[in-house]
Every structure is written in C-alpha cells, then in structure tokens.
Chain A
Amino acid sequence: MSLMLLWTDIMVWILTGMILLWGWRLSKSPEARRKWHYIFRSPLAMASAVVLGFYMLFALADSVHFKVTEPSKTERLYAGEIVSLLDMAMMHQKAYSERTYSAPFATTEYAKSIVVGEDGITRQQNLPLKHVAAEYPVKKSLLALFLGIFVSLLLIGAHLWLTAQEGFMQRIFAVFKGKSELPWRTGYAVLTLFIVLFTWLYVMSFSYHVLGTDKVGGDVFYASLKSIRTGVLIGILTTLVTLPLAIFLGVSAGYFRGWVDDLIQYLYTTLSSIPGVLLIAAGVLMMQVMMDNHPDWFASTIERSDLRLLFLIFILGVTSWTGLCRLLRAETLRISQMDYVTAAKAFGVSKWRIMARHIVPNLTHIILISVVLDFSGLVLAEAVLSYVGVGVDPTMYSWGNMINQARLEMAREPMVWWSLFSSFAFMFVLVLAANLFSDRVQHVLDPRNAQ
C-alpha cells in the first residue's frame, strides 16, 4: 500500500496546519488567550467543542488515503483501490455487504424472500444475514463498555497529568468538584459518553449491522461515519474559498471607496440577487459537462467524486462570500474613520500596510463569528443540494445522499426508517454542536456584548 492524497485531503491538511499555526500564534498573545479562555468557560461551549473535535477526528482519519498495490484475498481489496484510515478500521463493514435492507441489530433480512426448500415447497421467509454473529450480545456489550471507559479514563488521566500544576491529586479533586478554571468536568463527561457510545457501536459492528443496512446491503453505520468527512469538509473548506474573496473585496470596498466601492457593490448585489440554488445548480451542471469531457482527469470513481466535491466546495465558496463581504465593507468604512488610521496616514504608512495592520486585525472578530456561524449552514446546504441532485457525486457517502435515498424508503410498507434516522442523528449532533459553539464565540468576541 502506498500513501495517496486526494485534492481535498491536501486542502484539509493544509487547513488543519493553518489552524494549528494560528492557535500557536494566538497562544502567544495574552489578550487572545484570555478571550479564548473565556469562550471555553461555558460548559456548553466546552461540550460542543469536544463533540466538534470528535467529528474532526473522524474527518481527518478519513482524509488519509492509501492506494492498494497488492490485492489481498482475505480483505477483499483489489489492486488500485483507494482506501482511507477509517476504511481500514471499518474493513469488516466495507468489504462485506448484505443482499438488501435489514433493520438495526437484526439477524435476518427485512423483507421476505421466496425460497424453494429441499422438500420442493415454496415458502416466504426472512433470509438470515450473511455477516452477522449474534452470539453473546450482552458479554460483548459489557466488554465494549469496559473498553470504552478504560480508553476514556486513560485520556482523561493523561490530560489531568499534563495540566496539573500543583499536584496530580489536587488537580483531580479540583476538576471533579468543578473548581477548575475551565469546565473540564463537563468536557470529560461528554468525552466519556462519546467514546463509550462509539466503542460499543464499533465492537458490536463486528457482529451486527448496528444501524441496519441500506437497499444494496451496505452498512448504514459505515455510511454515516464516511459522511462525516463530506459534511465537515464542505463546512470548513468552503470558508477557505470564501474568506480571501470576502476579506479582499470587502476591505478594498470600504477603504478605497469611490469607483472601487461601486464596482464591488454592483458585483455582490448582482450575485446575491440571483437565487443561490439556481447559481449553484448552473455551476454544478457546467462542472459535470466539463468532467464528462475530460475523463483523463481522474483514474477511479473515488478520484472523480473527490474532484466533484472540490468543485462543489469551490462553487459554494464563490457564491456565498457576499454576506461576509457586505459586513466587512461596513465595518471597514467605520474603522477607516478612526483616528488611529488617520495617525498612520500622517506617518505616511502605505495603504496596504494600513489595511493589513490596522483594519484586518480589527475585523477578526467578525470574520471568526461568521465562519463559525456559516459552518452549520454549509453542512445543511450540502444535504439540501444533494437532495435536489446538484450536490456531491451520487457514489459519495454523504448525509444528503442518504436522505435522498430515504425519500423512497419512507414510502415503503413497512417503513425503512434507519437510513434517515442515522443521517439525521449524525447531522443533528454536528450542527447543534456547531451552533452552540458559534453562539458562545459570538457572545464573547462581539465587542457590543462586552461589559
């Protein structure tokens, strides 16, 4: 196997690097440290951050891809296939699929099939599933529980050890009595909850399809986990495209005024008066034609869907910068009237330097707030677009695609509910955490809320 990074992998790792670098730089400024400290003082923000971190972890694990060089018989990998770290951990579900629908924790298929028995009589019966080992469910659950608690205790212990200043035991008491400066107690509780829940599902997934299977027998738990990457990537990479456009155009419009301002205003009013979905659909269709004409751009379906994801991110970014741009323009208009900007002008500091040193740093709170607020909106937008059919590639795992499929499943009798439920639950937790976190960020960073 050899490492092979897709385009979106590269982007996501660059972005992770940038965030880490930014965090490191922030940690040097006492002012910024104080602010972030204050954000995490809210137990709700701490819990949301842990949840977001959990999702990020899955997205990152799913963003390291390998190309299979030698096919292996047992793992059912063929040469040239591209698998991620997450795929490898979930190989038991990726490689073995059932025939069709089955409910969560079921041992037989959901629908009855017609079977001709050895005695020659035709019967309707639920066929047993092929890859289910329904022995000792309680024993396995207990094992999973202990494993989960053990892992989380290990992590919490390590964290306590690292943050303990006066003594390990005092630290433990301080944290668990809720007397630590940050609400670590809440953070640990959420962490434990998530780890235990995940290990249980993971351990059980070796014996069952914990969230059932879909129409073609694919495991829904695996699909939901794979969808995390799609959602998170669209949420954060789109801002990577939006930010430079919004900052550059917004600040230039506000600072230079005159014809520059007019031009940029015309641009964004025009863009924002076209219905968003229409614009995105047009972009996606153009991209599809282009990709159909250039089959040499990609070697496999995974690479094709990755390219399509990249284009979708790009299109979403190019169509969604107007809101932030307008905010930044207004704020720049205000800041450029400030006396400190006049003072810099009186020193003969160049325009670009004034923008970089005086204006952009004073806009960071707006940028940050809108990035965090937009994240959940973008995750939801992906679901809507995939549902409409102009989202990600149909072969790509995404919550939107799952919901799109569930449309027909809901009409069945008896109803197949687990695909919709899983995608909804996974998406709901992510968006809720992101919204709660962004609320807190906005509350702390917005100067109008300062006491």
Chain B
Amino acid sequence: MSTLLSVDGLTLRTGGRSLLSNVSFSIEKGEVFALVGESGSGKSLTSLAIMRLLPQAIKVVSGDIFLHKESLFVLPEYKMQKIRGKKIAMIFQEPMTALNPVMTIGDQVAEVLKLHLGLSVKEAKVRVIALFEEVSIPEPKSRYGWYPHQLSGGQKQRVMIAMALACEPDLLIADEPTTALDVTVQAQVLELLMRIRKERDLSILFITHDMAVVSQIADRIAVMREGEIVEMAPREHFFTAPSHPYTKKLLKDALGDKGSREQRAGSKLLEVKDVKVHFPVKKGFFQRTVGYIKAVDGVSFSIAKGKTLALVGESGSGKSTIGQAILSLVPVSSGHICFEGVDLATLSLSERKLYRKKIQVIFQDPFSALDPRMPIAEILREGMDALGVGPQGKEAQDAYMRALLQTVELEPEFLFRYPHEFSGGQRQRIGIARALSVEPELIICDEPTSALDVSVRAQILTLLKKLQDERGISYLFITHDLSIIRTIADKVAVMKDGKIVEQGSVSDVMDSPVQPYTQKLLKAAPKLPDITL
C-alpha cells in the first residue's frame, strides 16, 4: 500500500481565532478514512483545505498537504483546477442543491468528461451511460435525458457519485453524503460506495458525524474536536478500545441509554382512531378537485399518560402530518382524535382553546423554530398570554419564565437575549421551555434531535426523559432515527405510505419485527458494534 494523500500539521486561522491546529493524517490507496466530529469541529474545513477551496478570510498558518508526495499548496491555480475533479472528487450532503435543476443529469455528467478528458459528445454519452450503470441507476439510457427534479434523493446522490467518478479520481471526498437520506436509501448508497471502492481501488475520505455509519464502512477513523484530531485508530481498535475520553463520550452518546424505563400503568391520554388526512388536488380554472393525496390513510394508536410513543417512518410516510392533525393544524378528513375521551373534531373554536394548552409541540429545526425578532421572554410569554396560563402580570410572568429556563437547564439571565445568540442545543431547550410554558400534558416531538450533534442529542433526550418523570408528560415522538427509540420510547409504531404497518412495545418491534418492511428498515439502519465502555 502506498500513501495517497497526507495532511501534515495543517493549522488554519481566521482573524485571531484558530480553526484547525496541527491536523495530520494520511490516507492510503484504497482505504476509507473517516473523519468524525460534531458540527464546528473542523471536518469540512479540512476537506476544503485539501481541495484548496478555503474562503478568502481563512489563512493557512502552517502545514502542508501532499497528493502523491506532491505539495498541493505550491501548485499554481490552473494546475490545481486539473487536480480538482480529475484526481480528487467530492460529493456533498445535499444532492438537491448540488445538481443544476435546468440541465439534464446526463449532460451534467458529460460536461465533466468533456472538460477534463476532452471527450467528444458521443464518446461522453457512452461513458456516462456506463457510469450510470455502475452506480446502479435503472434504465441508464433513458434516464440520461432526465432532469434532477424527476429523480428521488437517493438517485440524485447516485448521479453525484457518477459525476465524481467520471474522471476516475484517486481520492473521493464524501462530505456527509448520506445525512439527508432515509435509512434504507442510506444503506444502498453506502453499499454502492463500498462496491466502487473495491472495484476501483479508490480511496475515500468520509466525513460524518454518525458513528454507526463509520463503524460499517471505515478502515481508519480520526475523531476531531475543536480543530484538533484527538484520536486516530483503525476500526477494530477504535470501537473495542477507545482511549480518549471524548471518543468514549461520543460512543456512549451514540449508543444511547438502553436502560429499561420505569414501568408505570397509565390511563389512556390520547386515542387516534382510524384517522385519515387527505389533501385535495385541485386543477383547472374552477379549482375542481380531481384527486386526493392520502397523507395519512387510516391510522390508529393510543398514548397512555406519562408514556412515549415513537412514530417511525421514512420521509413522506405521513408521520409529521399526524402530529399536525393532533394539533388541529390540518383538517382531519375522517376518523377521531380523542383527548381524554373528548373528540377534538367536535369542539368549537373556543372549546378547542382548552386543549391547545394540553397539547404542545417541539420542532426539528432549532433555527426556524424561534422568531428571530423576539427576545426569549417574548417567545415564552406568547403562549401564556394567548391561552391565559400561568401568572398574569409582567413581574410574575418574568419570575415564572426564569424558573422555566432553569427547568430546561438554561441560565435565567438568557430571558432578554435574542435567538441568534444561542447554539442549536440551547435553542432546542428554549423550544422545550416554550412548549412547557402552558403546562401541557402531551408534547408532540417532531424530530427534535435530528438536527443536533450526538452529544447534544443525548443531553436533550435526557432532559425530555427527566421532564417526563417529573411532570408525567406524554410524548408522541416522531423520528426517522431508529437508534434513539430504545432510549426514549415505551411503544413504537412504524409508518409507511400513510399507514401504520406495525406497532407494539419497543422490545417486540425492535427485537422481533413481524412485518417485512420493519425488518428491512431495521436491517438498513447502521448499527454500532456492541461495545462496553
């Protein structure tokens, strides 16, 4: 084996701040090297530095990068341009934005070939079709003329991979290539990458935050934290004997707390009976209804007091729509949603207000969940004012809100700051505080942890569990992440195409699934090897 790329003591700075300090590693030919870390740890910067695409403001203080023993930093720009794409190729997290929406996918890949290899139009087309075949795009000949919007997310990522492979690079940089994809699609894309690696003896620099994915594909793993590599080890050692405390913490957070949850018998709080949510499809000048999109198609489940039901499914399965239906934000086409035995659909607007305070919601994206123009105090006050919960009067409310912030483990002084001053995890806590402000009995958690880093995710889950134990709140936990179900849920329901395919207790569904779809889903989900820390 020979060394393909080596990064030697790379140090980056911007202004007075150090971004990377003394990062060194090397990638062998045909090796998958994984760079793991939380957001802001400098993983993506490292990859940009390799491509020499760093933003102007960032200065390389010291260090060097060698490709085939040739320093990349001394090359003139026109030579570097040849290296990009031809020697080093890159695939990104968002296949949706990485493809040009007004060009056919075939032309986009052919363009790279024409540019770098000087192929003619005909030759390029033949090559592109061969590449599409290699990345398992069905019917490559006819897909050549398709536009990106006609493809699914997974297929777009395959096109991106085909484009990256077009000029037969030596190194492929994959920057979180599967994060935006569903588990089953993720499994397929990872499998594809592994196959190509084998066939072409390709080296891959795989950047991710997902420990489970790493455990499946990487040969060697480096953990980054605040611009430094804290641990670097081959896979076998990494998972069996992690040495650095930060690595141990990351692995522990990724594993989650599998301790069995305290069993309490609770009465039924929410019952969803055969609920359907159909959105009409309207066409023509008179807006005739020509058909329906069946977002939710006959779903039944129930949640007991103080318990958590996890609703699992891939994107587009209708799990978020159910959450909105329970919040009365989308109209229910048929069926009943009963809260404490009362059918919410039969209530008048004013009566429904009573239930608004009992059912609250937490969102996925902590950045869009808080109004950027409002200080935290105003955000928390809104629900209390609208629903008349908690003390009224400014001073009493301030005291109440300070206590609320302490409940979600934030400083009471944060009350008069604005959302942009907080990190993602802190914002998620503020979102939880907002939901708690009206003392709800049921909180709908719509993917509350999927935008967060592993360690922050673990903290938020712990907080949610603590609140459940203290206040007896029930959760409807909507997620696509199977790894956190054992940590948080009592019961699981698996959704597909608007229907629930399987539901039951966590151990039943997760350990011995009956339905083929559940089995497929569980099989596709990357798992960490069993490790004891």
* Chain A residues in the interface with B (C-beta under 8 A): 31, 338-340, 342-350, 353, 357-358, 361-362, 364
Contact with A along B345-366 (1 / 0, CB 8 A): 0000000110011011101110
Contact indicator B372/A343 (Cβ below 8 Å): no
Distance (Å) between the CB of A251 and the closest chain B CB?
Answer: 15
Contact indicator A342/B363 (Cβ below 8 Å): yes
Residues of B within 8 A of A364 (CB): 373
CB-contact partner of B369 in A339, A353, A357, under 8 A: A339
Residues of B within 8 A of A348 (CB): 352-353, 356, 386-387
* Chain B residues in the interface with A (C-beta under 8 A): 324, 327, 329, 352-353, 356-357, 359-361, 363-365, 368-374, 379, 382-383, 386-387, 418, 431, 434, 438
Residues of B within 8 A of A358 (CB): 371
CB-contact partner of A347 in B365, B372, B382, under 8 A: B382
Give Cα distance in the complex from A340 to B379, angstroms: 9
CB-contact partner of A342 in B329, B373, B379, under 8 A: B329
The 6 A-B residue pairs with the shortest CB-CB distance, nearest first, are A347-B383, A339-B363, A339-B369, A348-B356, A361-B373, A340-B371
A–B pairs, 20, beta carbons within 8 Å? A31-B418, A338-B368, A339-B364, A339-B369, A340-B368, A340-B371, A343-B363, A343-B369, A345-B329, A347-B357, A347-B382, A347-B386, A348-B352, A348-B356, A349-B386, A357-B374, A357-B382, A361-B374, A362-B371, A362-B372
Give Cα distance in the complex from A362 to B353, angstroms: 27
Give Cα distance in the complex from A361 to B327, angstroms: 25
By secondary structure, the A interface counts as helix
Given contacts A348-B352, A348-B353, A361-B371, 14 further A-B contacts (CB under 8 A): A31-B373, A339-B363, A339-B364, A339-B365, A343-B363, A344-B386, A345-B327, A346-B356, A346-B360, A347-B356, A347-B383, A349-B383, A358-B371, A362-B371
Contact indicator A347/B438 (Cβ below 8 Å): yes
Residues of B within 8 A of A338 (CB): 368-369
Q: How many A-B residue pairs have CB under 8 A?
A: 61
Distance (Å) between the CB of B12 and the closest chain A CB?
Answer: 17
Residues of A within 8 A of B418 (CB): 31
Contact indicator A339/B368 (Cβ below 8 Å): yes
Give Cα distance in the complex from A293 to B386, angstroms: 54
Contact indicator A343/B386 (Cβ below 8 Å): no
Give Cα distance in the complex from A339 to B364, angstroms: 9
Residue of B nearest to A31 (CB): B418
Distance (Å) between the CB of B317 and the closest chain A CB?
Answer: 19
Contact indicator B329/A346 (Cβ below 8 Å): yes
Residue of B nearest to A348 (CB): B356
Residues of B within 8 A of A349 (CB): 382-383, 386
Give Cα distance in the complex from A357 to B383, angstroms: 13
Residues of B within 8 A of A346 (CB): 327, 329, 356, 359-361
Residues of A within 8 A of B363 (CB): 339, 342-343
Give Cα distance in the complex from A22 to B187, angstroms: 56
Residue of B nearest to A361 (CB): B373
Contact indicator A342/B361 (Cβ below 8 Å): yes
Distance (Å) between the CB of A122 and the closest chain B CB?
Answer: 78
Residue of A nearest to B365 (CB): A339
Give Cα distance in the complex from A339 to B427, angstroms: 13
Residues of A within 8 A of B372 (CB): 362
Residues of B within 8 A of A347 (CB): 356-357, 382-383, 386-387, 438
Distance (Å) between the CB of A357 and the closest chain B CB?
Answer: 8
Residues of B within 8 A of A345 (CB): 327, 329
CB-contact partner of A340 in B327, B329, B369, B387, under 8 A: B369
- Given known contacts A346-B327, A347-B383, A349-B386, A340 and B356 CB-to-CB distance under 8 angstroms: no
Residues of B within 8 A of A357 (CB): 371, 374, 382
Distance (Å) between the CB of B400 and the closest chain A CB?
Answer: 16
Distance (Å) between the CB of B371 and the closest chain A CB?
Answer: 4
- Given known contacts A342-B363, A346-B360, A362 and B373 CB-to-CB distance under 8 angstroms: yes
Residue of A nearest to B416 (CB): A30
Give Cα distance in the complex from A344 to B383, angstroms: 7
Distance (Å) between the CB of B433 and the closest chain A CB?
Answer: 12
Residues of A within 8 A of B329 (CB): 342, 345-346
Contact indicator A343/B361 (Cβ below 8 Å): yes
Give Cα distance in the complex from A156 to B142, angstroms: 74
Residues of A within 8 A of B327 (CB): 345-346
Give Cα distance in the complex from A350 to B356, angstroms: 13
Residues of A within 8 A of B379 (CB): 340
Distance (Å) between the CB of B364 and the closest chain A CB?
Answer: 8
Residues of A within 8 A of B370 (CB): 340
Interface centre among A340, A344, A345, A350 (most CB of B within 10 A): A340
Give Cα distance in the complex from A349 to B438, angstroms: 13
Residues of B within 8 A of A343 (CB): 361, 363, 369, 431, 434
Residue of B nearest to A358 (CB): B371
Give Cα distance in the complex from A176 to B328, angstroms: 63
Give Cα distance in the complex from A343 to B356, angstroms: 11
Residues of B within 8 A of A340 (CB): 368-371, 379
Give Cα distance in the complex from A188 to B242, angstroms: 65
Residues of A within 8 A of B431 (CB): 343
Give Cα distance in the complex from A345 to B349, angstroms: 13
Residue of A nearest to B421 (CB): A31
Residues of A within 8 A of B353 (CB): 348
Residue of A nearest to B352 (CB): A348
Give Cα distance in the complex from A348 to B431, angstroms: 17
Interface centre among B359, B361, B364 (most CB of A within 10 A): B361
Residues of B within 8 A of A362 (CB): 371-373
